[in-house]
Structure 1
Amino acid sequence: MDTQTGRTSSTLLDDLARDPVARETMLDRLRAVTSAPGQDRFVSSAAQIVALAEADPGRHLLVVTRGDEVAGLGVLHPGGAPAEVVALLDGPATGDVVLFRGFLVDRTHQGQGVGTAVAAALPALAARLAERLGRELFAAVVLTVNEENAAGLRAYARGGFVDRGRYLGGDAGPQRAMAHAL
């Protein structure tokens, strides 16, 4: 991949770095992702996202690259969606929904379509995760995004996510629950 082309790729960490040394190297690169000023109110630091994912085997780290550079990270968390968010989906059980959480685009890659590319890739990534877990496909990928995060709302909508309603359980104020049926 060539950084100059602006190609964004998203891969599950477990598919990318299988041996312990490669995994630790990638974890270090993920921990180094930094947010732009003011975004820390919307998302945790990369180090916190990695630590939480590494401590919980139910959370699966997503590595976002542009060329050879790590452009961001996120987490796919099967069954991790709050009941209030799942209720907005009109049907699936919590265990049939995968939550996309802790998404952070590095400040040097913001404004370049990374968020939209990742959002569009999430259905395929959720299908890959279901395959890795040896289970049937999930019914939907769901996420919450702060109502004040206009760039995030636009990126998710352009990536095929549909606003399903307001969620008030976020740490940083009112959120929009968005879903992509699979």
Structure 2
Amino acid sequence: MPMKVRHEVRPSYHWPEIQLNVWLIVVLSGSATCLGIFSWFMIVQSQMDLGVPWLFPYMVVTSTLGVFFIFLVLGLITRHFLLPGILILGSFILFVLWLTGLIETSLQLYGVAGSVNDNCQNYVVDNVSKGNNINTLAWLTQNTICNCWKTAFAFELVNTIFYLWMIIMSWQVHRDYYH
């Protein structure tokens, strides 16, 4: 008796390639940058024998999840199995995580008196050090920390917006498939 061959037909969703590629590059860049910044912040806190604020490990985990999600999406793309539902769910979870990090970072950076931005203005921007000495090296490190806070805030904002954008784009791809 001949064997019956069963073919499964997978739905074929039309993804806007340029938008998807831009999204992948930007979100991967933002996640990797924040992963590096907050990992370095944790090292600095540890080296200085200071406590590590919850935001630092939280953003390390969130950034790592973002990187893993991008690699999952790339794997699904190569297998032609990128489903809108997967992206909607994953993007929503990461949107909430990044939004939480963004809110806490903005409170630390621009919040009440004594915020990171106020301290940067008082002790770094208004107190430039030059010359070949330990004070200049300390000032350069402080300036780097200040710039890293601003960079992390910017990438958190971009990633939060891009995850919302992916939710909308995935919903449109799903909707277009059924129309």
TM-score, normalised to structure 1's length? 0.29
Q: Tell which structure's C-alpha radius of gyration is larger.
A: 2
User: Which of the pair is proportionally richer in helix?
Assistant: 2
More strand as a share of residues:
1
